[in-house]
Structure 1
Amino acid sequence: MTLHPAAPPTRAIRSTGWVQLALLALVLVPAIAGSLRLVELSGGPLLLPANPRMTASPAPVAAHIVSAISYAVLGAFQFSAGFRRRRPRWHRMAGRVLVVLGLAVALSALWMTLFYARQPGTGDLALVFRLAFASGMAASIVFGIAAIRQGDVVRHQAWMTRAYALALGAGTQAITLGIGHAVFGTSVLTTDLMLGAGWAINLGVAELIIRGRTAGHRTRNAPTAVAT
């Protein structure tokens, strides 16, 4: 009786190209809105509804927009298994940059939540959601760093996937807010719940991805008994 490693599954690995496109499409709306806001903050024309909270203190929001867009675009390519195998050094270098960008996204979000005046049309629930999910993103990045330092690649990927999912909350919120306001009408409670739903949906999808990836990793590393 000889033990041979099970053949690695190939179906999931070959289909990663569409993942980057889907992630970039999700970030498109907030990236456009953020870019227009940057134009305004840099002295350009007013292209979005006025936001006195941001114009009074533009540095945090500018840092948040730049880091969020960069994190979302660069991070999308970290999900390509083939790209990671072909360019491992690039993956490691990009990962270090993404850690800095991701922490900048989370910490600037916390700063704006704590020190900016509350966004009109939102309530206490939205404040709690923002504090919780921004803190969760920062914690996920820290846990991901700790995992890779211990050589635990699977746990590192899981935590970084959660952090990225939370960073893309604004993209999903553009959808949930549109549906929520169309179905339930515009109210503070609806807005707060739809904001929370955006983050919750992203985290749910991330957990499904993590479970599938973990199951695939176990399958690839499980020995198969073959009679010889």
Structure 2
Amino acid sequence: MERRSKRAVGVPVLLVFLTLIPIVMGLVRFVQVPTHSLPDESLYFYETPWALAFHGLCGALFGLLGPLQFWTAFRRRFGWLHKLSGRIFVVSGVVLSLSGLRMVAAFMGNDINLTDASRVLFSIALLIGMWLAISSIRNGDLPRHRAWVIRSYAIGMGTAPIAFVLFPVFLITGVPPTGLAVDLIFVGTWITSIAAAEIVIRFVIPTRQSQRLTSQHWKGDPA
């Protein structure tokens, strides 16, 4: 029981760790915009200041609340708080998507690179995922709701792991990495995160549910 509890807590902690850099950067951006303290290489963001600010804040909320939604013990013990955080999670995801689309529209111009195109595609996918998650829970379909929340989280935070590669490069060189290679890594990380979420939905969750049912069966067996 103790080992299972530690494993259940470990998954949300791991997710927060993987999204830690984007979460921190999002909160920093939220403070930098109203205080006019953006670094020189990011001054162009003042063309869409509030889109950037809300993108940062909602990205941080989305990254923190997502793992909390997946924590089974939290969901069972604090159902009302789970529902409240779930509503904030959904609103954050919608604002994250819309603000991302606003910034892409402002800076994309006539030259559409691979990263910008993927941002548009996955921002729209995040909106669809949020809508499907809401419609599922309203219809009482918990498995489908859980699946779309997982998919939405993977879409919204799918590029977070790349920060562990690009952020150190930025710290060393002082210049944000750019180019086709970075675009390919960016999109590849996004697709990998979504694929990993799909594996969890289709294989990991059913396996755990089967193991739980088997365990309950043997505990209730009088023999």
Normalised TM-score (structure 2): 0.81
How far did residue 178 of structure 1 move? 6.5
Output the CA distance in 2 between the equivalents of 1:209 and 1:171: 18
Q: Which residue is equivalent to 2:147?
A: 158
Contact 2:97–2:124 (Cα < 8 Å) also in 1: yes
- Asked whether the equivalents of residues 29 and 52 of structure 2 are also in contact (C-alpha less than 8 Å), the reply is no
Match of 1:103 in 2: 94
User: Which residue of structure 1 lines up, in the alignment, with residue 46 of structure 2?
Assistant: 55
Which residue matches 2:190? 199
Aligned residue runs from structure 1 range 64-213, under 5 A: 64-113=55-104, 115-118=105-108, 124-175=113-164, 177=166, 188-210=179-201, 211-213=203-205
Whether the 8 Å contact between 1:30 and 1:171 is mirrored in structure 2 is yes
Q: Any idea what the Cα deviations from partners look like across 1:68-121, whole Å, max 9, x if unmatched?
A: 1012112221111111111122212221221111111111112222x22139xx
Provide the residue aligned with 1:216 in structure 2. 208
Deviation at 1:50, TM superposition (A): 2.6
Q: Please, which runs of 5 or more residues in structure 1 have no aligned partner?
A: 1-8
> Shift of residue 140 of structure 1?
0.9
The equivalent of 2:26 in structure 1 is: 34
Q: Distance in 1 between matches of 2:5 and 2:200?
A: 13
Matches of 2:167 and 2:88 in 1, distance apart? 33
CA distance in 2, matches of 1:180, 1:199: 19
Find out whether 1:16 has 2:5 as its counterpart. Answer: no
Q: What is the CA distance between 1:39 and its match in structure 2?
A: 3.1
TM-score between the two structures when normalised by the length of structure 1: 0.79
**Relative to structure 1, is the Cα distance of residues 13 and 209 closer, same or farther in structure 2, using a 3 angstrom cutoff?**
farther
Asked if the contact 1:26/1:168 (under 8 Å) is kept, the reply is no
Aligned to 1:5: none
Where do 5+ consecutive residues of structure 2 fail to align?
Answer: 171-176
Deviates more, 1:49-58 or 1:204-213: 49-58
Q: Which whole-Å CA distance do the structure 2 matches of 1:29 and 1:131 have between them?
A: 22
Distance 1:74 1:102, change over 3 A: same
Amino acid at match of 1:38: F
* More moved, 62-71 vs 24-33: 24-33
**Which stretches of structure 1, 4 residues or longer, exceed 4 Å deviation after superposition?**
9-14, 176-181, 218-228
Is the CA contact 1:173–1:197 (under 8 Å) kept in the aligned structure 2? no
Equivalent residue of 1:169, what SS?
A: coil
Q: Is the 8 A contact 1:169 1:198 kept in 2?
A: yes
**Letter of the 1:98 counterpart:** F
